[in-house]
Amino acid sequence: MQSFWLIFQLLFCLFLGFMLARRLPTKLEQFGFKILPYFSYLLLIAIAIEFSQTLQSISSPAHILTTAVSIALATSVGAFICCYLLFKAIGYQPMQGKVSADLLLSSLLNISYAFFALAFGYGAAELFSHLNIGLHISTWNLLLGFMFLIGLDLAYSPLDRSWLNWKILLVPLACIIGSILGALAVSFAISEISLKDLIMLSQGYGFYSMTGIVITQLKDAHLGSIALINDLFREIFSILFMYLIGWRYPRSAISAAGATAMDVTLPMVKQSCGNDFIPHAMVSGFILSVLAPIAVSILAAL
């Protein structure tokens, strides 16, 4: 029930922003549009702070980190490739006419800014920890504010029935299948975790605020820590995909983003893929956010 309450909050803020568009003072709306592009960096700083605090609270972080990164990379790449093959099978081609030195430079700059934000957040968390000063940034409140601004922005974007296009459903489907295939692939390198548990870890789709808690309660703290870091790195890898090749393979990049496509990585979708693919991100992220707690809970209880 908690996961559904979180999703309701996100959608409510999105709806509220959409409904208040053109009703707010013009200067206030313009201010919202100006700060919207910077929200992605604020979210990255908050994620890095949470990541630093997570590493401080677990035992044998090096081994857990290596295992989690391997799972995150395999499942992210699996989702990306699976989505690419699905859309290629129905005749879709990569986006054309956008290859240029300017675009490559822009992508590299964006990803450098993203890594700078991550490094800044991690460094700040470590510094405050060393000084015994509590550092708390509410990632959730940032997300709610961002969803409100996205609602304002969507009110000025053309919306149609494409939001319910069956082809959009291939994006989350590819994430589900590709994540399972990624878990199967990485099982050959990670022998200390059973295949069932690897598949369970793969079905978090980046929903780190949920998977770590659920798996810790239903399994154990060791797997819960791996789940949390795995999903954090799925967000990081999705940011890499968005900025580096999202402009050419937008659907595949959104699929790799998993549940985070609806919230944390949505600003990256807007920046690198464009407004036309916001429906893909919203629909895919919503479906996977609803499915993740169900799938993880069932697999953890088996």
* pLDDT tens for each residue of the chain, 302 residues long: 555 676 677 678 878 988 888 888 888 888 888 887 777 678 778 777 877 776 776 667 778 889 999 999 999 999 999 999 999 998 887 665 454 556 556 656 766 776 788 789 889 888 888 888 877 777 678 767 877 887 787 777 655 566 667 888 999 999 999 999 999 999 999 988 999 999 999 999 987 666 776 777 778 777 877 887 898 888 888 888 887 888 788 999 999 999 888 777 777 787 778 778 888 888 888 888 778 877 888 888 77
Residue 138 within any structural domain of the chain: yes
Residue 57 within any structural domain of the chain: no
Residue 49 within any structural domain of the chain: no
Amino acid at 177: I
What pLDDT score does 99 carry?
46
* Contact call for residues 83 and 170 (beta carbons, < 8 A): yes
Cβ neighbourhood burial of 173 (10 Å; 0-12, 13-18, 19+): middle
Residue 246 within any structural domain of the chain: yes
Instruction: Provide the domain limits for residue 179.
Output: 2-32+80-301
What pLDDT score does 76 carry?
95
Residue 22 within any structural domain of the chain: yes
Amino acid at 38: Y
Residue 42 within any structural domain of the chain: no
The count of domains in the chain is 1
CA distance 190 to 69: 12
What pLDDT score does 160 carry?
59
Residue 230 within any structural domain of the chain: yes
